[in-house]
Structure 1
Amino acid sequence: MNSFTGNTWRIQMLKTLLAYAETPEMKSKLTELKVISTGTDVAAQIAAMEDFINQGYDAVLADAISTEGFDRVIRAADRTGTIVMTFDNVLNNENILQLSSDNVESGRLQGEFLAKHMNGKGKLLEVRGLAGSSVEEDRHNGLTKVIKQYGDIEVVEVWGNWDDGTGQKVVADAIATHGKFDGMSVQAGTTGAMRALLDAKHPLIPVAGEAENGYRKIMAEKKAEGLEAPLRRLFTCTWRNRGQGSSGSPRRSCPSPTDGHPSACSNFGRTSRREELLVGSRRQFLHAQ
């Protein structure tokens, strides 16, 4: 049960799920896999989930469009014994199984990287994600908590919707309106945001963004100009076990097996061989679980 499909990762997510379902170890266990996307309409996603439950599906897996509003779906699943699990964007609810990464930590590390390489001052462009989602809110909050410690950093916020095309447009508009920036944070859609910087012939600045292939290609192309891509062991996947109506569900975390699953932070002006160690994105790791 997908929601938003407006960026390349969501398309990859769906294709990965379908491909995994066709593997020998999974195909024999599934009698039917149905995949639909409901866009950014919360009511439409809720209605579709309820329809799957009423049709007698054994499980409903959802990338939730909002953190709120799904309580009636959870109650319906409890009545029928249907397993409901959310991943990536999760709910403010402890009573279902949820799988996500520490997105507050992602935002915090972006903030620390940028504050350091901006020398604690200057103008920061924050390219936010899809409004209302848990991932967007957590990454923004993690970044903001750090940046607020530096009174000389001015933040300009734009909404890129985690999409390359939208990100490229809003960054280009921001440059046209505000002029030069000293750093940029991008939740996703980093390839488009970087293209806007390059197209505008903007001076190369510290950039913290998602480890997307297009972005990594730009890193490689700009390596001769001194591009650093520090990698950190930062993401864990957190399970919230279904609590059968209880409020305090237990949690357990599984650590990332390599350093190759972070968001990628870049700083023009320095080089690092560790850039070459990027072997996969955070989200690819989560799907592999």
Structure 2
Amino acid sequence: MTATLFGVAASVVAAGPVAAASDKPVIALSNAYYGNTWRHQMVEAFEDAAKQAKSDGLISNYFVMNGDGSVAQQNSQIAELILKGVDMIAVDAASETAVNGIIEKACAAGIIVVSFDSVASAPCNYQLNFDFEGYKAVQAEAVFKMLGGKGNVIQVRGVKGSAPDNSMFNAQQSVLAKYPDIKVVATVFGQATASVAQAAIANVLPSLPHVDAVLGQGGSDDVGIAQAFVQYGGEYEGKMPIIEGGGGTDFVKWWAEENAKNGYQTISVNTTPGIGGAAFWLGLELVNGGKAPKKMIMPVATVDPENLQEYADLPGGQIISPSYSPEWVKENLLSK
């Protein structure tokens, strides 16, 4: 069953009969927010893995539930999955803490829970995370060195209330504390979405002093930020601020064009939406008796001036990401 939406209401996808009797496991995804390119690719990665597993006879069925970003809706969806008797739930959480109660209920019902990307802190669940603070601190340091340690910056935050947003913001704050001559002149929320980030930047630019750099949080916010400055023009025409890239291929293409014209430089680092597939294969391994640490870290993707041209010809409208196979999961995530 499906319900069409784009980050406004819920969507539920079930492959095949809901109550199909089988000794094969049923795997589910509860994705709290569906309103940006990164989350769409993540869900596609999960679904691709699930379809492959079903075709290979490894699972009997799978469910995908996408939400509007609210804790209440995700709690309701996970409760529904508990009633369905699924064997494993992968959770991209609306909150690090507010969904812990329903996750504990799922664990008590014998369901394996793997939270990932935006993780939950319930002790019973496995966490498949990125080192948000680590890579964002490195990226901010790189930008501040390009600025020579002084200038005005805008911070563009991500999905409001999510664990990644808090982690990345805190990482940026820790680096800012070391650079007293870097001044934050505005902080806005971009929801990791090009159109939202573009509108947020356009709204504040007229009231700001000259902006030398923009700290983003990834997804497709990077190209939206760039377009806001392009459309504003004026002092930024031919001299754009250093905009942190978040892995969007549209941004990388724009960067490559600017680089060819005037030597524009920045750095792009992003979490990989292919984690959706990794979460699926990890969950299936755990259901089948595999062992893994309670906390695991996924790699990130980096584009810098050295490898820029390698990524400049990728199709637009995407987030840079590898796909993760069952073999990769066994080699890199399961306990040895």
Given that residues 131 and 161 in structure 1 are in contact (C-alpha distance below 8 angstroms), is that contact kept between their aligned partners in structure 2? yes
Measure, in 2, the Cα distance between the counterparts of 1:283 and 1:97: 25
2:67 to 20, 34, 38: 38
Q: Secondary structure at the match of 1:36?
A: strand
Percent identity of the aligned residues?
23
Given that residues 125 and 184 in structure 1 are in contact (C-alpha distance below 8 angstroms), is that contact kept between their aligned partners in structure 2? yes
Partner amino acid, structure 2, of 1:71: N
Deviations along 1:224-277, whole A, 9 cap, x unmatched?
A: 111335578999x9x999xxxxxxx95565674xxx713x56xxxxxx342124
Partner amino acid, structure 2, of 1:14: V
Cα offset, 1:39, TM superposition: 0.9
- Does 2:309 match 1:276? yes
- Does 2:220 match 1:184? no
Measure, in 1, the Cα distance between the counterparts of 2:109 and 2:69: 27
Aligned match of 2:188: 158
1:211 to 247, 272, 283: 247
Taking a change above 3 Å as real, the CA distance of residues 24 and 97 of structure 1, as seen in their structure-2 partners, is: closer
1:174 to 197, 201, 204: 204
- Does 2:263 match 1:226? yes
Measure, in 1, the Cα distance between the counterparts of 2:115 and 2:320: 14
Which shifted more, 92-101 or 208-217? 92-101
Deviations along 1:182-237, whole A, 9 cap, x unmatched?
A: 111111211111111111122312221211111111112112111335578999x9
Structure 2: where are the runs of 5+ without partners?
1-29, 284-291, 330-336
Given that residues 242 and 265 in structure 2 are in contact (C-alpha distance below 8 angstroms), is that contact kept between their aligned partners in structure 1? no
Q: CA RMSD in A?
A: 3.0
Measure, in 2, the Cα distance between the counterparts of 1:140 and 1:101: 14
Give matches, 1:1-289, under 5 Å.
1-23=30-52, 27-155=56-184, 156-188=186-218, 189-201=221-233, 202=236, 203-224=239-260, 225-230=262-267, 250=293, 256=299, 261-262=301-302, 264=303, 272-278=305-311, 284-285=321-322, 288=325, 289=329
Given that residues 37 and 193 in structure 2 are in contact (C-alpha distance below 8 angstroms), is that contact kept between their aligned partners in structure 1? yes
Given that residues 222 and 246 in structure 2 are in contact (C-alpha distance below 8 angstroms), is that contact kept between their aligned partners in structure 1? yes
Measure, in 1, the Cα distance between the counterparts of 2:270 and 2:251: 19
Measure, in 2, the Cα distance between the counterparts of 1:69 and 1:11: 23
For normalisation by structure 2, the TM-score amounts to: 0.72
Partner amino acid, structure 2, of 1:119: G
Measure, in 1, the Cα distance between the counterparts of 2:223 and 2:43: 21
Count of aligned pairs: 271
For normalisation by structure 1, the TM-score amounts to: 0.83
Q: Secondary structure at the match of 2:179?
A: coil
Partner amino acid, structure 1, of 2:307: R
Given that residues 248 and 320 in structure 2 are in contact (C-alpha distance below 8 angstroms), is that contact kept between their aligned partners in structure 1? no
Structure 1: where are the runs of 5+ without partners?
242-248, 266-271
Taking a change above 3 Å as real, the CA distance of residues 187 and 80 of structure 1, as seen in their structure-2 partners, is: same
Taking a change above 3 Å as real, the CA distance of residues 67 and 171 of structure 1, as seen in their structure-2 partners, is: same
Cα offset, 1:19, TM superposition: 2.1
Which shifted more, 10-19 or 102-111? 10-19
Deviations along 1:104-157, whole A, 9 cap, x unmatched?
A: 012201220121111111111111111211111111111110011111111121
Which shifted more, 203-212 or 36-45? 203-212
Given that residues 129 and 297 in structure 2 are in contact (C-alpha distance below 8 angstroms), is that contact kept between their aligned partners in structure 1? no
Measure, in 1, the Cα distance between the counterparts of 2:324 and 2:197: 25
Partner amino acid, structure 1, of 2:72: A
